[in-house]
Amino acid sequence: MFVRALALVVLVPVLMYSAVLCLVGLGLLILPLELRLLRRLADGERDRLGRWAAASTPPAGPQARRRLMAVLSDPATGRDLRWAAVMTVAGTALGLIGAALFLFPAAVLVLVGLWWLFPADDPIRLILNVPIDSWGSAVYAGVPQFLLSVLLALVGPPLLARLAASVSRWLLAPSAAAVLAERVSTLDRTRTGAIDAHGNELRRIERDLHDGTQARLVSLAMQLGLAERTLSADPAAVGPLLTRAREGAEEAMAELRDVLRSVYPPILADRGLAGAVSAVVARCPVPATVELGELGQPGGPGGPRGLGDVPAQIEVAVYFAITEALTNVAKHAHAGSVSVTLARAGGTLRAEITDDGRGGAAEGGGTGLRGIRQRIEAVDGVLRVQSPPGGPTVITVECPCGS
Amino acid sequence: MRIVIAEDNALLAQGLTALLEALGNEVLATTEDAESFVAAAVTHRPDVAVVDVRLPPSFTDEGIRAALRAREHVHGLPILVLSQYVEDTYARELLADGTGVGYLLKDRVARVDDFVDALHRVAAGGTALDPDVVRQLLATRGNPLSRLTEREREVLALMAQGYGNSEIADRLVVTERAVHKHVGNIFVKFDLPPEDSGDRRVLAVLTHLGAPQRRSRRPGPEAD
């Protein structure tokens, strides 16, 4: 806090000076560096404000760009500068008043104790304008004055600090319009991702059916045609042909089952998300418990599957996320137990998978976490992985699913 | 045998009827939904019923529930459930209702001999589980299995599908006495009371493996 204030007091004049130096070119080089430093200070302050205030101010993130114009075009830079300028003056003033209030009781004590040093015709008067000219008046006027000053010292500085924090927050926080613009650009990005993911999925299904099932059925029809022709010429040779044809049909069925499972797992169609997740949990090699919260009204708008109206693609994404997460736990976590919770709060479907394993789960490294992230982000959801070394690992999935 | 079929897909219902009649069975009724299936089962009292899992009106797991409902009316009615995919949850629900139940992939019908074999076993009050279901059930709780030998695991898988000792002996090309010994060892390793009657032992083993949230009393080495 004090370090930041000092840094600010130093940095603001330096910034002004550098801005002037831009006229001779040198500023163009050093100003971006200074602005990056300022961003770190401002974000430190944003972080602090976020920690002890209800209305949090998310850090704007480090300045990534190096060119002056790019740095200046970042809307947060303007807020950083505004904050630096105002807080250098206002922050210093408030800080001084706070310090004065803090020292006030000591001053009262000293002055009241030393009343006899003042001339008799101009006795010392403190807060209440009561002259103190004897030990008696020092007691009956000095004690309340001392108590009053203690009260001020206790109440004043926190109030001032809160005032400084609100000024700081007002200067640092993005405006509602800026927040909205940010949200729109995020939505834009995820929507594009979702459309791409959907397209890739359609192409994958088409390819699987075309290259696999369709090809197998064609070859099956050929084998049967051949058997038909062989029947009149050489009946004995038909047996093996038919056997091969039946085996081909079985392979086609197995393949088709896999494709269907990847499109929409049949257990979801049969039992809805809650039933499907319970089945997966029951199948987990690590002892697992499941806790299903409110998901929707049975027989409600979602029909007999009792899921309210969770869209199918979100069901699938969440189902695969939980399946994959449990597979990870079984394969990598060395966990003694795992718990799954699944509940819906308003328009958000939330799943949490917690295991007491060794932690240290990272994306990549064949854990399937990246696949989960892609699936969840494709439906505009959020995936959070907390996995400190030594565990526990908590994987949280949140998907918007209409209200 | 006298058979009732519940299958809403006309193509499959015809195929199944043709197949069963060609093998000398009598198909008493072909029903298209759960309601009429239960009624037909009560009216005809067939030797065995063949039921599709997905039936109208809900097209979910109606067939499983219809099978259980029919067995409430006709106690111990043998039922073979067919499905386009297998789900161990359904197998557990059927098995929880006792014996004389089967659960197979529709694909298996193409292997006519195996299919007929399963049908007869169910009609005789035994069980018939699809190898895929058994795989799922056995994969559920890895730990107790890790204490079995390779051979014991093979015996267990066949036992779970519903085969008796002599059939297991034929399939594994060993003597029946050897199978008997393996079965005894499996029960000892699972801390189960020895069961000799074929169907009760299947239930005992599957219940032991499939009971959710229950661990074996002697935790085995952690399977990676």
Tell me if B85 and A260 make a contact (CB, 8 A cut-off): yes
Min Cα distance A346 → chain B (Å) is 27
Residue B41 has pLDDT above 90, yes or no: yes
pLDDT of residue A57: 59
User: B161: exposed, middle or buried (C-beta count within 10 Å: 0-12, 13-18, 19+)?
Assistant: buried
Distance CA A376, CA A165 (A): 37
What chain A residue is nearest to B62 in terms of C-alpha separation?
Answer: A270
Min Cα distance B135 → chain A (Å) is 11
A191 to each of A88, A188, A196, A311, A371, how far by Cα in Å? Answer: 43, 5, 8, 16, 18
Structure tokens at A198: 């959907």
Min Cα distance B191 → chain A (Å) is 19
Question: Computed from CA positions of residues A201, A202, A203, A209, in that sequence, does the dihedral angle turn out positive or negative?
Answer: positive
pLDDT of residue A199: 85
Tell me if B84 and A267 make a contact (CB, 8 A cut-off): no
Single-letter amino acid code for the residue at A360: G
Please count the other Cβ atoms lying within 10 Å of the Cβ belonging to residue B204.
16
Distance CA B159, CA B205 (A): 9
Q: Is B139 on the interface with A (CB under 8 A)?
A: yes
| pLDDT average, residue stretch B70-89 | 92
pLDDT of residue A398: 93
Of residues A271 and B28, more confidently modeled: B28
Q: Is B111 on the interface with A (CB under 8 A)?
A: yes
What chain A residue is nearest to B85 in terms of C-alpha separation?
Answer: A257
pLDDT of residue A52: 59
Structure tokens at A397: 């999935």
What 3-state DSSP class applies to A395? strand
In this complex, the residue of B136, B222, B224 whose CB is nearest that of residue A283 is B136
Angle between helices A75-113 and A135-172 (to 10 degrees): 180
- For residue A349, the cross-strand partners are A344, A399
Which candidate, A296, A381, A301, places its Cα nearest to that of A345? A296
pLDDT in tens, B115-137: 999 999 999 998 999 998 888 87
In this complex, the residue of A246, A275, A334 whose CB is nearest that of residue B110 is A246
A chain contacts of residue B141, beta-carbon cutoff 8 Å: 285
Residues 6+ apart with CB under 8 A from B40: B4, B6, B28, B29, B31
Identify whether the C-beta of residue B62 lies closer than 8 Å to the C-beta of residue B56.
yes
Place of tokens 């042909």: A241
Single-letter amino acid code for the residue at B67: A
Q: Is A117 on the interface with B (CB under 8 A)?
A: no
Walk along chain A (403 residues) and give the pLDDT tens digit of each residue: 556 666 766 777 777 767 666 666 666 666 777 777 777 777 777 777 766 554 555 666 666 556 666 666 666 777 777 777 777 777 777 777 877 777 777 777 777 666 666 666 666 666 566 666 666 666 666 677 777 777 877 778 777 777 777 777 777 777 777 778 878 887 887 778 778 878 888 898 999 898 888 888 988 998 898 999 899 889 999 999 999 999 999 999 999 998 998 888 998 988 889 889 998 898 888 888 998 876 654 433 334 444 457 888 899 999 999 999 998 898 888 888 999 999 988 788 999 999 998 888 887 766 788 888 888 888 888 899 998 888 799 999 999 887 5
pLDDT in tens, B170-219: 999 999 999 989 988 888 887 777 765 656 677 667 766 654 433 333 33
Distance CA A281, CA A289 (A): 7
Identify whether the C-beta of residue A194 lies closer than 8 Å to the C-beta of residue A375.
no
What 3-state DSSP class applies to A351? strand
Domains and CATH numbers, chain B: 2-130 (3.40.50.2300), 141-208 (1.10.10.10)
pLDDT of residue B215: 32
Q: Where are the alpha helices (DSSP H) in A305-357?
A: 312-328
Single-letter amino acid code for the residue at A322: I
Q: Is A279 on the interface with B (CB under 8 A)?
A: yes
A131 to each of A122, A128, A134, A146, how far by Cα in Å? Answer: 8, 9, 9, 15
| HEC readout, B70-96 | HHHHCCCCCEEEEECCCCHHHHHHHHC
Structure tokens at A101: 């209030």
Min Cα distance A332 → chain B (Å) is 8
Distance CA A7, CA A38 (A): 9
A chain contacts of residue B59, beta-carbon cutoff 8 Å: 269
Residues 6+ apart with CB under 8 A from B188: none
pLDDT confidence bin for B40, thresholds 50/70/90 = very high
Tell me if A266 and B84 make a contact (CB, 8 A cut-off): yes
Average pLDDT over chain B reads 84
pLDDT confidence bin for B104, thresholds 50/70/90 = very high
Q: Is B45 on the interface with A (CB under 8 A)?
A: no
Min Cα distance B8 → chain A (Å) is 16
- CA B184-B114-A256 angle, 5° bins: 110
B chain contacts of residue A334, beta-carbon cutoff 8 Å: 222
pLDDT of residue B83: 92
pLDDT of residue A322: 95
pLDDT of residue A271: 85
Q: Which segments of chain B are extended strands (E)?
A: 2-6, 26-31, 48-52, 79-83, 101-105, 127-129
Q: Is B11 on the interface with A (CB under 8 A)?
A: no
pLDDT of residue A302: 38
Going by their DSSP bridges, the two strands A348-355 and A393-400 should be labelled as antiparallel
What chain A residue is nearest to B93 in terms of C-alpha separation?
Answer: A279
pLDDT of residue A27: 64
A chain contacts of residue B215, beta-carbon cutoff 8 Å: 287
| pLDDT average, residue stretch B61-82 | 94
Min Cα distance B175 → chain A (Å) is 30
What chain A residue is nearest to B107 in terms of C-alpha separation?
Answer: A250
